[in-house]
């Protein structure tokens, strides 16, 4: 099967594997602050990830490209990003690197969003030259390197050899002039993986956990011999954020993707150490089912929900969300304790520290 057909399969199946009504973010709750000492209009949404200053913590994360039919999707996503000042990443560009005929399905993003923050995207198997080609194709501000081992193993035409990934990531990082982000596609990251990436010089990591689009399920839907027992593989986004918090990593920015359903989930992710949140599946559904105006209104509402949550917690700036007390319960708490993560420290943080005077 050619890559263009595969891309269309991924879109079709991703739209049918709806996000769960309940996910790990429901195990995260806040201590109410009845004296927040702040106002809604004082809340600002700009945030820093690595060397980037973003106008919003919401990032339109990697989705698609590589087929003529995906050009319209990426065009609409780029317009949304431009109109609401959001950073944006494209889907894997390996299709266009191997077949320049589909380059426009990616280039359309820079055409519509000439001055915005745009991330190129390749797999961890990419060569340095392929990584450079991906960045040049978009005049990209940064590069995402995606990790998707389980997806590849379940993909009928997927890779089966993952040797040398960390060395390759390090080589790409050291060779490119733009910042490099390493991201999971929905199976989460353990602290051991995060530590390996940090030691390789990566200072921008998207933990990409379970809770959003389930690519194991997507590939099983494409496979004549599916392996459904692997559809619950990995860590959730909340578990991955807790893993990232369990060891010191100063100077490293964390992004949380996977299961962000609304602005409150975004606040929860920010409280657990993320500096930004990626939204992919929900954005894809929006652009496929709604008018551009409705898409823009949805982003406005997410921003409103963010501000409401931050105001109620007495937080004026994104960076201060990680100081507020947050409680982890349920299955997430049970699994975190098995990993030696101290949840009591999170629950007993001081409200006063989170008020930015």
Dist CA 307 CA 296 (whole Å): 17
* pLDDT attached to residue 352: 61
Dist CA 318 CA 46 (whole Å): 7
DSSP line for 108-131: HHHHH-TTS-EEEEEETT--HHHH
Dist CA 306 CA 19 (whole Å): 20
* pLDDT attached to residue 15: 53
* CA dihedral sign, ordered 154, 156, 161, 167: negative
Q: Could you tell me the mean pLDDT of each successive run of 10 residues in the chain, 357 residues long?
A: 53 56 94 96 97 97 80 96 98 93 95 98 97 98 97 91 96 98 97 97 97 90 92 97 88 96 97 97 92 97 98 97 96 97 95 52
Residue with tokens 């889907």: 91
Q: Closest Cα to residue 256, out of 242, 269, 243?
A: 269
C-beta separation of 28 from 328 below 8 A: yes
* pTM recorded for the entire structure: 0.92
* CA dihedral sign, ordered 2, 96, 75, 287: positive
* pLDDT attached to residue 289: 93
Q: Closest Cα to residue 259, out of 15, 7, 9, 21?
A: 21
Q: Give the count of beta carbons closer than 10 Å to the beta carbon of residue 302.
A: 24
C-beta separation of 209 from 1 below 8 A: no
C-beta separation of 261 from 277 below 8 A: no
Fold of 3-354: TIM Barrel (3.20.20)
- The CA–CA distances, whole Å, from 188 to 9, 36, 224, 241 equal 23, 33, 26, 9
* CA dihedral sign, ordered 315, 319, 323, 324: positive
* pLDDT attached to residue 243: 98
Helix 128-138 crosses helix 165-175 at what angle (to 10 degrees)? 50
The pair of three-digit structure tokens given for residue 41, joined into one six-digit string = 């209009």
Residue with tokens 């940064």: 142
- The CA–CA distances, whole Å, from 45 to 40, 221, 235, 236, 281 equal 11, 39, 28, 25, 22
Residue with tokens 């309940």: 22
* pLDDT attached to residue 356: 44
């Amino acid at each position: 099967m050619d890559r263009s057909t595969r891309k269309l399969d991924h879109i079709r199946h991703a739209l049918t594997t709806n996000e769960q009504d309940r996910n790990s973010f429901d195990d995260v709750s806040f201590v109410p602050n009845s004296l927040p000492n702040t106002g809604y209009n004082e809340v600002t949404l700009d945030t820093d990830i690595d060397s980037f200053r973003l106008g919003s913590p919401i990032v339109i994360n990697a989705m698609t490209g590589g087929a003529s039919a995906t050009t319209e999707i990426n065009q609409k996503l780029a317009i949304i990003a431009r109109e609401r000042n959001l950073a944006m990443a494209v889907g894997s560009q390996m299709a266009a690197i191997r077949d320049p005929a589909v380059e426009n399905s990616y280039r359309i993003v820079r055409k519509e969003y000439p001055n915005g923050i745009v991330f190129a995207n390749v797999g961890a198997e990419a060569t340095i030259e392929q990584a450079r080609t991906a960045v040049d194709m978009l005049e990209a501000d940064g590069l995402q390197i995606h990790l998707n081992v389980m997806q590849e193993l379940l993909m009928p035409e997927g890779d089966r050899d993952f040797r040398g990934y960390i060395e390759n990531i390090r080589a790409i990082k050291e060779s490119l002039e733009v910042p490099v982000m390493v991201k999971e596609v929905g199976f989460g990251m353990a602290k051991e993986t995060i530590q390996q990436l940090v030691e390789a010089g990566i200072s921008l990591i998207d933990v990409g956990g379970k809770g959003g689009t389930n690519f194991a399920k997507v590939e099983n839907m494409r496979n004549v011999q599916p392996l459904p027992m692997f559809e619950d593989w990995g860590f959730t986004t909340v578990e991955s954020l807790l893993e990232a918090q369990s060891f010191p990593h100063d100077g490293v920015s964390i992004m949380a993707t996977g299961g962000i359903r609304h602005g409150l989930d975004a606040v929860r992710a920010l409280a657990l150490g993320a500096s930004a949140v990626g939204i992919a599946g929900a954005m894809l559904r929006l652009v496929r089912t709604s008018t551009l105006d409705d898409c823009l209104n949805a982003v406005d509402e997410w921003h409103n929900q963010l501000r409401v949550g931050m105001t109620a917690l007495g937080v004026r700036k994104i960076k201060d969300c990680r100081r507020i007390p947050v409680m982890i319960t349920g299955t997430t708490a049970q699994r975190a304790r098995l990993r030696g993560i101290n949840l009591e420290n999170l629950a007993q943080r001081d409200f006063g520290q989170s008020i930015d005077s």
